[in-house]
Structure 1
Amino acid sequence: MYQLNFATVAYLLTATALWAGNAIAGRLLVGSISPITLSAVRWGLAALLLLPLGWRVFMPKSPLWKTKKRLLILGLFGVGSYNVLLYLALQTSTAINVTLIGASMPIWMLLIGALFYQVKPSLLQLIGAFVSLLGVGIVLTRGDLAALLSMQMVVGDLLIMLATILWAFYSWMLTRTGPSTERHWPWAEFLLAQITAGLLWTGLFDGFEIALGHAFIVLNWWTISLIVFVAIGPSLIAYRCWGLGVTGAGPTVAAFFANFIPLFTALLSAAMLGEPPQFFHGLAFALIVVGIVISARRRR
């Protein structure tokens, strides 16, 4: 039985705050490192940092070898393709477009749950999704919802849409019971298995980037610091927290917390520019919370 308690809320908020930092870091690294190479370096470093805790997953008797096909899919959806598509989207799309499209995750989560996992959304969940999206719209348009009409679609928007759909599939897969879930594996081994599988896919994608001559990296302290941050915070810590949050609250309710990412991104950007939070930030926060509370209510 899913339950939205204090610990689960803390896990999901931590993950979304770190992913907001990832979006900012990815944008700051544009021009310093190519997008697919960034993803490959990020996950390669994350795997090395996690190896001392999860190395037993590669032992001959590890359940990894019996579930390698499922883990390859998890690695593709949650680590490999999602992050590659995100960094590629940031090359051409604006921050407002990327975060707004990413905020459609609750809708995709409800749709995928209904089509592939026989979990029909309730009326309260649909209402909660609408209220939360309204809060996201207020953040992204700075209180001027009419600005949505002037937005234009580019290639990056389509990429982040695909990434959001794949992440919804990934989140649902995390809740599946069986020998390859976090409930049965030590957390470090399960996460390292996902990262390793995702790194294989990312290395394949990076091979194409290198072959096309588009791969590059400019090494300096600024670039190295940002890469270390995305390898530890948005990778190891955030993925661990998201896994715990999804198994605790369920993928549908957890998806609503993704709407905090654009809010946290706006607040972090404002803090970096020395701008205090505005009234619409508080209004958006309230609407997103209301949407989560409504969606988490059980039908009598």
Structure 2
Amino acid sequence: MHQLNLATISNLLIATALWAGNAIAGRILVSSAAVSPVTLSAVRWGLAALLLLPLGWRVFAPQSALWQNKKRFLLLGLFGVGSYNVLLYLALETSTAINVTLIGASMPIWMLFIGTVFYQTKPSALQLLGAVVSLLGVAIVLTRGELSTLLSMQMVAGDLLIMLATILWAFYSWMLSRPGTSTERQWPWAQFLMAQVFVGLLWTGFFDGFEIAAGDAYLHLNLWTASLILFVAVGPSLIAYRCWGLGVNGAGPTVAAFFANFIPLFTAILSAAMLGEPPQLFHGVAFALIVGGIVISARKQ
């Protein structure tokens, strides 16, 4: 039985706050030409795998549930680790921050749609209403309270990439809430995450091969860029994915998706803090609407 308690809320907020930091760090690294997008994802998950290996190495044992669920983890690694992050960093090359985060805020809609079509979970009227209210809150924070800004938005290639990434993440979240075997339910968290990171790294390496072959791969390290890459390998990767998994299992994939709308809010607040700007009234209004959407959607449960 899914329950939205304090522990679940905390896990989902920690994950979204760290992913907001990932969006900022990723923008800095990609826009400054410090590292190419796919190579950034490959280096990020390579470091994450090395850091996680001392805790999760038993996942490679012959009797591990990983081998019993090869097809499942090929998809989990592709949707949640491999393709999502590659598509996000590629989208940041051509798309604006407003477009990327606003399209990403459509995740609750996709979560409801995928649940209906593939998992026979019909959305309630309250969940649909909650999605609209939460999306309005995201629109307010991204347009700084001037909704007319939405009329000037233009679609670019990066928008389609982040749309695809959002759909794949919705599939990933639904799969997280449906363990493949009873053995997997008792799996130590480090091994479960190690399986995803390992398979996701294989996918990322495959994608990075195309970037290398095209001559578009590059990596320029200094103390600043190395620190940012280490941050995205630890916080938005290991810690955030662990917290998101706990949050999805606690609240259910549909309600958890609404928490993803905190990412653009946290991104805006972090960006403002880096520029020395205090929070504005529209930040408070957006926060209230996003929380309102979560409360409305969770009432069914």
Q: Same fold (TM over 0.5)?
A: yes
Alpha-carbon displacement from aligned partner over 1:155-190 (angstroms, at most 9, x marks no partner): 000000000000000000001133278632100000
Distance in 2 (CA, whole Å) between partners of 1:178 and 1:198 is 18
- SS, match of residue 29 in structure 1: helix
Alpha-carbon displacement from aligned partner over 1:33-65 (angstroms, at most 9, x marks no partner): 000000000000000000000000001111111
Alpha-carbon displacement from aligned partner over 1:242-279 (angstroms, at most 9, x marks no partner): 00000000000000000000000000000000000000
Residue 9 of structure 1 corresponds to which residue in structure 2?
9
List aligned pairs for 1:227-242, cutoff 5 A: 227-242=229-244
Residue 211 of structure 2 corresponds to which residue in structure 1?
209
TM-score w.r.t. the length of structure 2 is: 0.98
Alpha-carbon displacement from aligned partner over 1:112-167 (angstroms, at most 9, x marks no partner): 00000000000000000000000000000000011101100000000000000000
The CA RMSD measured in Å over matched residues stands at 1.0
Q: Which amino acid aligns with 1:20?
A: A
Residue 151 of structure 1 corresponds to which residue in structure 2?
153
Q: Does 1:103 align with 2:105?
A: yes
- SS, match of residue 181 in structure 2: coil
Choose from 258, 271, 294 the match for 1:269. 271
Choose from 60, 65, 69 the match for 2:67. 65
Residue 112 of structure 1 corresponds to which residue in structure 2?
114
- Identity of paired residues, percent? 81
Q: Does 1:20 align with 2:49?
A: no
- SS, match of residue 170 in structure 2: helix
Residue 199 of structure 1 corresponds to which residue in structure 2?
201
Distance in 2 (CA, whole Å) between partners of 1:185 and 1:208 is 34
Q: 1:195 to 1:180 in 2, by over 3 A?
A: farther
TM-score w.r.t. the length of structure 1 is: 0.98
Distance in 1 (CA, whole Å) between partners of 2:139 and 2:99 is 11
Structure 1 runs (4+) greater than 6 angstroms displaced: none
Alpha-carbon displacement from aligned partner over 1:210-248 (angstroms, at most 9, x marks no partner): 000000000100110000000000000000000000000
Across the two proteins, how many residue pairs are aligned to each other? 299
Residue 131 of structure 1 corresponds to which residue in structure 2?
133
Q: Which amino acid aligns with 2:140?
A: I
Q: 1:293 to 1:234 in 2, by over 3 A?
A: same
Distance in 2 (CA, whole Å) between partners of 1:252 and 1:238 is 18
Distance in 2 (CA, whole Å) between partners of 1:48 and 1:181 is 25
Q: Which amino acid aligns with 2:79?
A: F
Distance in 1 (CA, whole Å) between partners of 2:260 and 2:185 is 23
